[in-house]
């Protein structure tokens, strides 16, 4: 009872201010978070971070819930040359599930794999039955995936078909490995080859089409395609969302901030989700949200709408 009261107090008082000085409440949900397991800690060079630690950070920022993205895909990155990556992926997904249970309903887990591994589809099918695991996280860069490779596109279509059968939302880090050969073409391929395979599930494009931190020209070339599709009422965007994890930071210029705000309005604020990521801008979940409010020239109504957005998979 005491913890519930504390959460309500924090949620009510954790506010940021827009450029006009208007107060905006903290986001209801952080849509892009990670934990740090013992095997992942030396890879990411951060101390372990479990559900309890994340919940403390959310409480400090006044955020009620978070989407936690398993990092099993990173343990199956062939560049790391880790032994038995399929076993490591299973164990990471299992550990993430245990942390979701410990989150007592405030944390929702997304399974992950390297989709190019032969065991990927079977592992997702298994993982989605674990307690607290509701969706799928894909990381094209860490997995060496590019939609410009027809074999990769076919494999991803199989995975999206699985998501459709399971009713599982998918969050995708679209940026290709190294950021090379990536841009508007990939956004068209994403709509043409993947979204159409899973018309009923919610799909989230992470980092506003980029990788974070910041919002480079490559990311904007991707978002220009999605924004144009939204403006013309493309039905493929009916269940699509775009998270803002680490897009706005201390280095965001007024010109880039204006461009981001333009894309937000083209998409419609109801398609835009706030996320912090493992290393939020400003060093904390609350600081990242403050930067978002301070730097983007959005109206208070627009910022409040983003803070209050709730997808179907988080209801």
Give tens-digit pLDDT for 95-152: 999 999 999 999 999 999 999 999 999 999 999 999 999 999 999 999 999 999 999 9
Question: Which of 8, 19, 45 shows the shortest CA–CA distance to 292?
Answer: 19
Quick: pLDDT tens for 149-172: 999 999 999 999 999 999 999 999
Percent of the chain with pLDDT over 90: 91
pLDDT at 23: 86
Question: What's phi and psi for 241, nearest 5 deg?
Answer: -130, 165
User: What pLDDT, on the 0 to 100 scale, is given for residue 178?
Assistant: 84
pLDDT at 2: 36
Task: For residues 21 and 303, give the distance between their C-alpha atoms in angstroms, rounded to a whole number.
Answer: 12
Residue 304 has pLDDT above 80, yes or no: yes
User: Average pLDDT of 225-241?
Assistant: 98
Res 17: pLDDT: 64
- Give the architecture-level CATH label for domain 2-12+25-314: Alpha-Beta Barrel (3.20)
**pLDDT class of 1 with cuts at 50, 70, 90:** very low
pLDDT tens string 246-303: 999 999 999 999 999 999 999 999 999 999 999 999 999 999 999 999 999 999 999 9
Q: What is the pLDDT of residues 14-47, one digit of tens each?
A: 667 665 667 899 999 999 999 999 999 999 999 9
């Amino acid at each position: 009872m005491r913890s519930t009261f504390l959460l309500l107090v924090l949620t009510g008082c954790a506010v940021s201010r827009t450029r006009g000085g208007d107060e905006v409440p903290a986001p209801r949900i952080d849509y892009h978070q990670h934990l740090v397991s013992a095997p992942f800690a030396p890879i990411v060079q951060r101390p372990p971070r479990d559900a309890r630690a994340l919940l403390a950070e959310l409480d400090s920022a006044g955020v009620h819930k978070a989407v936690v993205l398993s990092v099993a895909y990173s343990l199956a990155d062939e560049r790391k040359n880790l032994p038995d990556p399929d076993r490591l992926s299973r164990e990471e997904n299992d550990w993430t599930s245990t942390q979701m249970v410990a989150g007592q309903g405030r944390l929702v887990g997304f399974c992950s794999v390297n989709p190019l591994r032969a065991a990927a589809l079977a592992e997702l099918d298994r993982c989605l039955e674990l307690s607290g695991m509701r969706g799928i996280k894909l990381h094209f860069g860490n997995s060496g995936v590019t939609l410009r490779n027809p074999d990769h596109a076919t494999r991803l279509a199989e995975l999206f078909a699985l998501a459709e059968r399971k009713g599982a939302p998918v969050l995708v880090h679209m940026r290709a490995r190294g950021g090379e050969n990536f841009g508007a073409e990939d956004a068209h391929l994403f709509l043409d080859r993947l979204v159409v395979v899973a018309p009923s599930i919610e799909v989230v494009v992470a980092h506003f089409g980029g990788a974070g931190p910041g919002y480079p020209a490559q990311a904007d070339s991707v978002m220009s395609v999605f924004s144009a599709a939204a403006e013309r009422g493309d039905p493929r965007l009916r269940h699509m969302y775009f998270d803002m994890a680490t897009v706005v930071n201390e280095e965001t210029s007024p010109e880039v901030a204006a461009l981001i705000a333009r894309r937000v309005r083209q998409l419609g604020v109801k398609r835009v989700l706030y996320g912090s990521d493992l290393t939020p801008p400003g060093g904390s979940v609350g600081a990242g949200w403050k930067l978002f409010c301070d730097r983007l020239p959005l109206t208070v109504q627009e910022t409040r709408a983003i803070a209050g957005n709730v997808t179907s998979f988080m209801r």
